[in-house]
Amino acid sequence: MSAFEFASGKVSSMTAITDLEIFARVARTGNMSAAGREMGLSPAVVSKRISLLEERLNARLFQRTTRQLTLTETGDGYFKRVVDIISLFEEAEDFVSRRNTSPRGLLKVTAPTSFARQHIAPHLPRFIERYPDIELDFQLTDNFVDIIRDGFDVAIRIGELADSSLVARKIAPDDRVLCASPTYLADNPAPLKLTDLERHNCLLAGSQAQDGWRLRDKDGREHQVRVEGNIRSNSSDFIREALLLGLGLSLRSTWDIAPELERGDLQVVMPDYTGSANFAVHAVYPCREFLPAKVHAFIDFLSELYGPEPYWNKGAKIPTGGATNTSNAAKENKRKKGSGQPAGRKPPAAAALPENLGGPISSNLPA
């Protein structure tokens, strides 16, 4: 019996919210069996409810083949509206219950792989202890994710955000520095000015290959610098490993390399130049008048954990806003320059990377 039922006992022609939820699950998973597992229903029941929904609407919502289930044009438009209805329904329930109950329910989060591994996973015991009724579903990827279409409650995104209908809350700065390993700097004296970067092998992550590096000097001015190198990748972890192996220098987020800076495995070069001030770590979520308590709890937890001066910057000497002291590598560069040694050279060209290691990158990755 439908939830929308007249007192007379006649069932309304309106669609039950449960049918909308089934439809949305099938659309997101592209599979009736997977949708059924998520909702505790058999594939037969899911298939029947979808067929009845299409019959009621007098429209085909899915194209069905033996191997694939995809939305029709009508189905896609219907889906975009259904997710808003389900969201409003959840908000209404949360509005009634959140003052009387602790945060609870399934929280779906998408985040960059490296950041989640280093700065979310280690702190989950404390979060779970504080909020035992929240169930976590983390989908880790360095690719851009449509959180509305894919049904995520919140996304952790790093970089400069584009304008959208989503709401973004800054939970930490994304301080970025130019750095290289002592191995690389032993053969390639550290750059002292922006033009010196032209003579260095710059390791590029994602969009850096097309856009270059945005650097801020000690006076707050920003510079767009075109750089080149023989290694680029859509994987931030891949570039990080190449950096540690001494294959070039790179612009890296301090949350990713602070331990290596502290140990001396990496050294900051050109400390008067840091990454653009417009980059940050954000929690992004759908625009809702009543934000679910579970989302509030998670974002507040991370914001409290990191803060404006995150813990990863406290152990290492991180230049902020363009420090005036030069690194040991830069001092050595000055000595070599005075002796007539070349200011820098690129290593021999490396073997070409597989094609799937190049290409565009999302704002999830540190630029």
With contact defined as beta carbons under 8 Å apart, do 225 and 212 qualify?
A: yes
Render pLDDT for 253-268 as a digit per residue (tens, 0 to 9). 999 999 999 999 999 9
Select 102-172+280-311's CATH number: 3.30.160.160, 3.90.660.10, 3.40.190.10, 3.40.50.300: 3.40.190.10
Q: What is the mean pLDDT of residues 14-30?
A: 85
Q: What is the mean pLDDT of residues 88-117?
A: 81
Percentage of the chain beyond pLDDT 90 is: 50
Question: Does the pLDDT value for residue 106 go beyond 70?
Answer: yes
Residue extent(s) of CATH 3.40.190.290 domains in the chain: 176-277+315-357
Select 176-277+315-357's CATH number: 3.40.50.720, 3.40.190.290, 3.30.70.1290, 3.40.190.100: 3.40.190.290
Residue extent(s) of CATH 1.10.10.10 domains in the chain: 17-95
Render pLDDT for 38-61 as a digit per residue (tens, 0 to 9). 888 998 999 999 999 999 899 999
Render pLDDT for 63-87 as a digit per residue (tens, 0 to 9). 887 777 889 999 989 998 888 888 7
Question: Does the pLDDT value for residue 220 go beyond 50?
Answer: yes
Residue extent(s) of CATH 3.40.190.10 domains in the chain: 102-172+280-311
Render pLDDT for 333-353 as a digit per residue (tens, 0 to 9). 444 334 333 333 344 333 333
pLDDT band for position 118 (50/70/90)?
A: very high
Least confident of 8-12, 17-21, 36-40, 59-63: 8-12
The pLDDT score that the predictor gives to residue 6 is 34
For residue 3, CA distances in Å to 16, 41, 98, 257, 279 come to: 6, 18, 23, 54, 47
The pLDDT score that the predictor gives to residue 271 is 94
Question: What three-state secondary structure class fits 14?
Answer: coil
As a CATH number, domain 17-95 is 1.10.10.10
With contact defined as beta carbons under 8 Å apart, do 278 and 220 qualify?
A: no
